[in-house]
């Protein structure tokens, strides 16, 4: 888990979730005015040697502890991706149920977003690659040390939720481009340059 000890008055706290049976990624951000502030990110894992029921308990307990620790006002999760393997889809659905039950039991509203919608909000392209999402999450939240790609995906979901609810910084492509130009480090990678070009192309359509 990576954690920052900052606390901010007058803010909204969000938790993003990327549910999975083996690993469920999570990311916590605060929305304060025009700023998105990284608080923490990590993963909750289940033990593959245990029964499905026991693994679901592990996931549920882990997310419930996070909800109690960080006390979010809202939670957002990525919707289930239905693949060709019905057994895998069923197990993912069970994991999602265990994960989403934790905030729901605490009376916290839960929003869900399709993977393409998350990528569109964060990168500007609905079919962006995973590494592109990770780069853009790092640019939008420059102080975040990402635990792994699951945690990055969870932070992307939280950013997407901010985009579709209240954060004025992310309300359109042009303002998101301005935000990134003001908040990214000078040593920008070639991949970031390509993504920025894609953002400008999307904004001009």
- The answer to whether residue 18 is catalytic is yes
- Choosing from 74, 78, 153, 196, which is the catalytic residue? 78
- Choosing from 18, 30, 74, 196, which is the catalytic residue? 18
- The answer to whether residue 10 is catalytic is no
Query: Number of C-alpha atoms within 13 angstroms, CB side, residue 70?
Result: 31
Given a contact cutoff of 8 angstroms between Cβ atoms, the answer to whether 92 and 131 are in contact is no
- The answer to whether residue 78 is catalytic is yes
Given a contact cutoff of 8 angstroms between Cβ atoms, the answer to whether 14 and 156 are in contact is no
168-175 long-range contacts, Cβ below 8 Å, gap at least 24? 168/34, 169/34, 169/35, 169/36, 170/36, 170/121, 172/203, 173/124, 173/199, 173/200, 173/202, 173/203, 174/203
- Choosing from 30, 150, 153, 196, which is the catalytic residue? 150
Q: How far is CA 8 from the centre of its chain?
A: 20
Could you give the residue numbers annotated as active site? 18, 78, 150
């Amino acid at each position: 888990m990576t954690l920052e000890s900052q606390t901010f008055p007058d803010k909204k706290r969000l938790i993003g979730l990327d549910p999975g049976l083996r690993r469920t990624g999570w990311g916590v951000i605060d929305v304060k005015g025009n700023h998105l502030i990284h608080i923490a990110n990590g993963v909750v894992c289940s033990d593959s040697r245990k029964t499905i029921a026991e693994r679901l308990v592990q996931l549920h307990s882990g997310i419930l502890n996070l909800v109690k620790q960080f006390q979010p006002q809202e939670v957002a999760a990525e919707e289930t991706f239905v693949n060709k393997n019905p057994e895998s889809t069923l197990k993912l659905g069970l994991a999602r149920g265990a994960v989403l039950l934790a905030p729901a039991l605490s009376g916290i509203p839960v929003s869900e977003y399709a993977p393409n919608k998350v990528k569109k909000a964060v990168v500007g392209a609905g079919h962006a690659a995973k590494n592109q999402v990770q780069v853009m999450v790092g640019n939008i939240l420059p102080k975040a040390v990402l635990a792994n790609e699951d945690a990055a995906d969870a932070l992307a979901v939280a950013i997407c939720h901010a985009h579709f609810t209240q954060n004025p910084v992310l309300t359109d492509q042009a303002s998101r481009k301005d935000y990134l130009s003001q908040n990214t480090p000078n040593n920008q990678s070639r991949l970031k340059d390509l993504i920025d070009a894609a953002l400008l192309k999307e904004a001009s359509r």
